[in-house]
């Protein structure tokens, strides 16, 4: 099959594209190569993808609807995995307009393509940040999620709702997956693991918010990709009339639309996470303890029952394995 992967030069898009290509699929990759972080990293990822005959990459902003439509007309795809977005919880406090342009307008343009040119499955990246101020743990897909704390989270939740409308109106099989703190080799420089590793190696203080009293449900990149690949084979189907929603399934009663957590349900204390980095580096951090940052949540915790039910799979790589894998990549990439 041919997959369209938006954000193919990004952290997750690169790993997914490489996996799909290795599995024998064709990948049409789109990426804007925006300078939110080091563009050289994006070019290095893309260079690896170009080793595969089935890869076709294009530099394109999703806000450019005309160019997007022209590309699609020449390269129809079976499945769309929409990963491209303006990422970063904290950056959304500094440059909110970037999130409206990329996340709302860009996603709308992609959804319009799936309306005009029907696909077998439209897959949309969302985030655990969509749960916002929810205190019921673990986070369950059927829980109400209307208390987002940053514009980033609000735009991602908005795209889930937009996708539901399109799924209902145009019968587009749609899965929106909520990621839980993804990490691993080729990760983004703005993410905590990258910053902590660099700071510890450089001997500079690392900022630890809320004095380290936070927990995250970390998801190793290979586990995430395995889940996405498996979910690609399970497109939602519009329920029959009279369908009674299952309390354990987020399938819409009126559309082929489902929201799914991708996380292992194993929250890790931030200080324990930092300790794993120190072990992998053989060097202690210099902590700079700070108050809770605006927009942060204290804990994320995925209920992975629905993922298990649909795919027979749940992320399980512990940070004791995932963190050293990242550190090994970092040292090799930066010749440390």
CA–CA distance, 288 with 290 (Å, rounded to integer): 6
The β-bridge partners of 332 are none
Question: Of the candidates 304, 296, 257, which has an alpha carbon nearest to the alpha carbon of residue 141?
Answer: 304
Give CA torsion, residues 251, 252, 255, 256, to 10 deg.
Answer: -10
pTM, 2 dp: 0.96
CA–CA distance, 296 with 252 (Å, rounded to integer): 29
How many distinct helices (H) and strands (E) make up the chain?
12, 13
What are the catalytic residues? 152
E strand or H helix that includes residue 96? helix 96-99
- The residue behind tokens 């655990």 is 128
E strand or H helix that includes residue 228? helix 221-232
What are the tokens at 301?
Answer: 């915790």
Helix (H, G, I), strand (E, B) or coil at 164: helix
Strands 79-82 and 2-6: parallel
Whether the Cβ atoms of residue 9 and residue 30 lie closer than 8 Å to each other:
no
The β-bridge partners of 215 are 269, 299
Q: What is the pLDDT along the chain (336 residues), one digit of tens a residue?
A: 999 999 999 999 999 999 999 999 999 999 999 988 899 999 999 999 999 999 999 999 999 999 999 999 999 999 999 999 988 777 777 888 989 988 999 999 999 999 999 999 999 999 999 999 998 999 999 999 999 999 999 999 999 999 999 999 999 999 999 999 999 999 999 999 999 999 999 999 999 999 999 999 999 999 999 999 999 999 999 998 878 878 889 999 999 999 999 999 999 999 999 999 999 999 999 999 999 988 888 999 999 999 999 999 999 999 999 999 999 999 999 999
Helix (H, G, I), strand (E, B) or coil at 282: coil
CATH number of 2-182+219-264+300-317: 3.40.50.720
Q: How many CB atoms lie within 10 A of CB 47?
A: 11
Question: Of the candidates 29, 106, 113, which has an alpha carbon nearest to the alpha carbon of residue 61?
Answer: 106
What are the tokens at 330?
Answer: 């970092």
CA–CA distance, 277 with 258 (Å, rounded to integer): 36
Predicted pLDDT at 245: 76
């Amino acid at each position: 099959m041919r997959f369209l992967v938006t954000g193919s030069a990004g952290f997750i898009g690169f790993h997914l594209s490489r996996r799909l290509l290795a599995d024998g699929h064709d990948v049409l990759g789109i990426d804007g190569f925006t300078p939110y972080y080091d563009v050289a990293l994006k070019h290095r990822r893309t260079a690896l993808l170009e080793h595969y005959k089935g890869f076709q990459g294009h530099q394109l902003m999703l806000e450019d609807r005309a160019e997007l439509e022209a590309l699609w007309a020449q390269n129809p795809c079976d499945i769309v995995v929409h990963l491209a977005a303006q990422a970063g919880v904290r950056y959304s406090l500094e440059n909110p307009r970037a999130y409206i342009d990329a996340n709302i307008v860009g996603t709308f343009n992609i959804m319009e393509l799936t309306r005009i040119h029907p696909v077998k499955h439209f897959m949309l990246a969302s985030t655990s940040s969509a749960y916002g101020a929810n205190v019921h743990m673990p986070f369950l897909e059927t829980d109400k999620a209307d208390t987002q704390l940053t514009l980033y989270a609000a735009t991602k939740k908005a795209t889930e709702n937009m996708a539901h409308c399109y799924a209902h109106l145009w019968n587009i099989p749609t899965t929106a997956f909520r990621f839980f703190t993804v990490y691993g080799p080729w990760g983004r420089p703005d993410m905590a693991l990258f910053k902590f590793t660099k700071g510890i190696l450089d001997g500079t203080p690392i900022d630890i918010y809320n004095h380290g009293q936070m927990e995250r449900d970390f998801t190793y990149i290979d586990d995430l990709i395995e889940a996405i690949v498996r979910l690609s084979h399970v497109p939602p189907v519009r329920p029959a009339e009279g369908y009674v929603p299952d309390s354990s399934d987020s399938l819409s009663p009126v559309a082929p639309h489902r929201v799914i957590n991708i996380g292992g349900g194993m929250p890790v204390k931030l200080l324990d996470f930092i300790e794993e980095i120190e072990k992998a580096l053989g060097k202690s951090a210099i902590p700079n303890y700070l108050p809770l940052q605006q927009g942060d949540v204290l804990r994320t915790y995925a209920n992975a029952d629905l993922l298990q039910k649909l795919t027979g799979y749940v992320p399980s790589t512990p940070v004791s394995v995932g963190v050293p894998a990242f550190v090994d990549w970092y040292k090799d990439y930066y010749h440390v």
